[in-house]
Amino acid sequence: MSDTRDPGWPGFVNTRDLGGIPLTGGGTTAYGVFTRSADPAGGDWDAARAAGVRTVVDLRWPSERGLSIPGVTVVHVDLDDSADVAFWDDLRATGAFGTPLQYRPFLAAKAAKVAEVFSALAAAEQGVVFHCALGRDRTGLVALLLLSLAGVPAEVIADDYELSTAALSPFFTSQGRDDHGPFIANLLAERGVTAREVILDVLRDLDAAKYLLDAGVSASDVEKLRSALRTGAASPSGG
């Protein structure tokens, strides 16, 4: 994918516009509508605001949340439903936690939380930055659903998911932390799969529009989100 998806805002990590991505049947998704990111607390918000960012949707637990951002509306949605400790303990016990293997059980069990996020995205003033801590798992699931809803081919959605592994590697190094990428790859290899194969499996039978409607997102909001990504701004959100 083109590096024009990187808005180039200083201090932002694992950040990319959901614009410029090929659509099934031709054309590309719109720039400047939705941008995915890791925790943007240390980012240059003057640059982000100048590029048109007006809303942040923070997907993290209440205990993870940071400070308010001047000039930007911040909406909090605890996508993980962090109070449901038993659900996450079960995923940890199976080894799925923190890998794309958690997506299928999460989508099955937490449709109401997904609906809360997508209703917030539809209500938000564009452009929107949505993020979690690393911009990989929670953010990755929301990006997967948005891109699928817009009509991006599954292979291309898998491409986008895989970009986070390389994007986060220098971040882990800068923080003196172990890189999660090799650990996750090894864990998945022990199960005979790759992250890409898991993402493609999730998408194989996923009808994003039907899922969101069944989850409780209004038909008007589903269409608003689909239309925004397909027909919104036509140029990169920043340089």
pTM over 0.75: yes
pLDDT digits (tens, 9 = 90+) for 99-157: 999 999 999 999 999 999 999 999 999 999 999 999 999 999 999 999 999 999 999 99
pLDDT digits (tens, 9 = 90+) for 163-174: 999 999 999 999
73's tokens: 């509306």
Residue 223 has a CB neighbour count (10 Å cut-off) of 13
103's tokens: 């997506």
pLDDT mean over 205-224: 98
DSSP letter for 57, please: E
pLDDT digits (tens, 9 = 90+) for 149-158: 999 999 999 9
